[in-house]
Structure 1
């Protein structure tokens, strides 16, 4: 039994749900539904993915008991505005985790730079463009995929992967889980909270008209603002200080010569690890 359930706000807003114990990919399920004529507003949630994927076609495995969830929507917004839904997703997931984790398990400060150990609580933060970190280790990821429909609109599959019980093995970067953080929360609990938080933040987004407010919330929860950063753009490394996220959602790096470089995509590393990992 998967026993997934929508939160009360999500039910009231008319969202639907399809739950699985295991599935190939919740994003694939969503995009297949879109091709079949689904009007959107439906969640696909699973305790395990056997063919999940991350950014740039990377594999994203989901050990059983973790959360894999995808929301299919067909927004009334142009593609450029729809691309900012990743920030809606990040803020929604950050809020959901904040509701589920005791306050003593969350601490504030630039990721990896405040000098407080795990005994003081984990630092939960958003990493540009689409990860959630706990003390610099990946706790969750978000993947957006778009599909053009016959009527010219775009269906958007917004995928969430949360390490509830275990982090995948063999990753090229640190990863953690809620269990490793000493927090016992099931995938079903995370999903129910996420589905409600999505309603609030998506309403704020307002078909792209409210993206400025969403980005403000994203910055407040961001990892690494004001700290050294390096960005790998297909082998080209950009280094400097992570200054902010601009109004289009681009990462702004201030280089040593004070030039401000706008980054639209790339793999980001912070602080002392920036040089070593890039």
Structure 2
């Protein structure tokens, strides 16, 4: 698979480290950072053998799918860097729209359309859905370096030509939806879309704009939701994400709860007695 950076990415100083096969693009990116790489480096492959998702879950990347990680070196607070997952979600949804303009999707059981009808929805905190079915996941990891710096790895895995069948949630791929793009063309579009979204984020100063754009594409906004967090299940309506990008649930009594981390379920799954 041939991978190339978009001209905008090259102009903005990004570099490329392509591989036919990797263990984990996130792990390799962190290794580069610890070895002194200055950052703005994309580590990319269309096959990943030991990828992982949130909370150590496995993320399979068979040949033909996309595994890409952007290494950034942060000199500031990691609190701001933690919101880069929302920047990545916006960039990826823009890239998907660019490479699959004719794809139509239907709504799956555990999803719901974005508020403004987008075909690729953003599910808090780190998934991209197509009609309620998971198409991509985003994972942020970091490692402390010397002089108060940190290596931040923004991992993006996309089901391009295949998707898992043996998972407890709906999943899909670009190929299953009729798109003809490959991992290389998707990465090219992603490297371009990232530049726009990252400039809007502006070292965290533009987070409110990112947050508002993210909400325009949010899956399940205003719908019934259940979140497993901290050993309990919180139920209510998905109200918004707040200024810190926490997931805000409005309970039946009108009170709101801000969730920092948890597993989100919509629709039929949220209505079940247990999550």
TM-score, normalised on structure 2? 0.93
> Partner of 2:18 in structure 1?
19
> Partner of 1:117 in structure 2?
none
> Partner of 1:140 in structure 2?
136
Q: Is the 8 A contact 2:43 2:68 kept in 1?
A: yes
> Partner of 1:130 in structure 2?
126
Distance apart, 1:14 and its partner CA: 1.2
Q: Is the 8 A contact 2:6 2:191 kept in 1?
A: yes
> Partner of 2:91 in structure 1?
92
Distance 1:112 1:89 in 2: 20
- Taking a change above 3 Å as real, the CA distance of residues 21 and 178 of structure 1, as seen in their structure-2 partners, is same
Q: Is the 8 A contact 2:225 2:235 kept in 1?
A: yes
Indicate yes or no: 2:215 matched with 1:225: no
Q: Is the 8 A contact 2:112 2:131 kept in 1?
A: no
Q: Is the 8 A contact 2:118 2:217 kept in 1?
A: no
Q: Note the residue ranges of structure 2 that are not aligned, 5 or more in a row.
A: none
TM-score, normalised on structure 1? 0.92
Distance 2:118 2:219 in 1: 13
> Partner of 1:208 in structure 2?
204
> Partner of 1:50 in structure 2?
49
Distance 1:209 1:77 in 2: 12
> Partner of 1:179 in structure 2?
175
- Taking a change above 3 Å as real, the CA distance of residues 151 and 177 of structure 1, as seen in their structure-2 partners, is same
Distance 1:112 1:60 in 2: 20
Q: Is the 8 A contact 1:136 1:174 kept in 2?
A: yes
Distance 2:83 2:226 in 1: 22
Q: Is the 8 A contact 1:226 1:243 kept in 2?
A: yes
Q: Note the residue ranges of structure 1 that are not aligned, 5 or more in a row.
A: 115-120
